Amino acid sequence: MSRPMVRIHDLSDDSITDREMNDKEFADYQAAQEAEATRQAEADAAAAAKAALLTKLGITAEEAKLLLS
């Protein structure tokens, strides 16, 4: 698997350099990807729990908003 590319734009001479991520950049990238996947899984679980509760109560999301306002 090739690593993601990094683009460096040097404004002093307007040059652009594209290169693969180095080991540290790639490790940081992977950690960020894992953190985002975890965050998304938690958000999905929370949404599923909310939908299950609304179904159990027999109300819609709009009705719940009315109750809580």
Per-residue confidence at 1, pLDDT binned at 50, 70, 90?
A: low
Per-residue confidence at 53, pLDDT binned at 50, 70, 90?
A: very high
Structure tokens at 64: 């719940």
Inter-axis angle of helices 23-57 and 61-68, nearest 10: 80
Q: What are 6-33's pLDDT values in tens digits?
A: 999 999 999 999 999 999 999 999 999 9
47-52: Cβ within 8 A, 24+ apart: none
Q: Phi and psi for 17 in degrees, rounded to 5? A: -120, 125
pTM recorded for the entire structure: 0.69
